[in-house]
Amino acid sequence: MKNAPDKSRLSPNEITLGIIGGGQLGKMMGLEARRMSINLAYLDPEINCPASTISDQMIVSDFKDEEAIIELAKKSDVLTYEIELANSSVLKGLESRGYVVHPASQVLYTIQNKIRQKKFLRDNRIPVPDFEEVISIEQAKKIGKEFLKAIITFLELKQSSKFQERRRTQILQLIIQVYTHCTGLRE
């Protein structure tokens, strides 16, 4: 983190926002920061990433590169990320050393795993579709069979014209092909 005796007294043009990820979203964040006269430092594996055109400082490295993230932190007053590929454990370590990371590294850690993310949402009473964590091939095959049965039941309920019947048959055949390929079942 850049050294300043009292961060609350910094003018915007003395603040540097460090952004992990220089894609379209990173560039859009940067454009808004620019409107507030905030300096921009990016970390991205591509030197010509979209945000490179507005960056004051560019670190070309992998999103998970610990040394590069620490280098970015040292150049920045606030760190953020625009991509789930950022290294949440490095960001957590930086937070414990007093660096400002927003959103917090725990948010990134949660969204990096879709099961963890869905459990978090469900536990906080935010509606999510039904899901099940698959931990074995047998469980995956069982879930696949249940899914296939549900699709077949749905399609059987949709009875109407010959065109729709042909379309229903095509969809059913495609689902069976995908299911057979994914599970290796020939039932």
How far is residue 7 from each of residues 1, 10, 30, 75, measured CA to CA in Å? Answer: 11, 5, 20, 14
Residues 69 and 143 in one domain: no
| Cis bond upstream, residue 103 (ω within 30) | yes
Residues 52 and 77 in one domain: yes
pLDDT at 3: 40
Residues spanned by the domain of 19: 7-123
Residues 82 and 168 in one domain: no
CA-to-CA distance for 180 and 145, rounded, in angstroms? Answer: 10
Give average pLDDT by consecutive 10-residue segment, the chain, 187 residues: 52 86 96 94 97 96 97 96 95 96 96 93 92 82 78 63 64 72 57
pLDDT at 187: 45
- Spatial strand order of the sheet with 16-20 comes to 57-60, 39-44, 16-20, 78-81
Residues 43 and 78 in one domain: yes
| Chain segment 107-161, per-residue pLDDT in tens | 999 999 999 999 999 999 999 888 888 888 888 778 777 877 777 676 666 555 5
Residues 61 and 38 in one domain: yes
Give how many domains the chain has, as a whole number: 2
pLDDT at 2: 56
- Asked whether residue 1 is domain-assigned, the answer is no
pTM of the prediction? 0.72
CATH number of domain containing 57? 3.40.50.20
Residues 28 and 107 in one domain: yes
- Asked whether residue 2 is domain-assigned, the answer is no
pLDDT at 122: 93
- Asked whether residue 115 is domain-assigned, the answer is yes
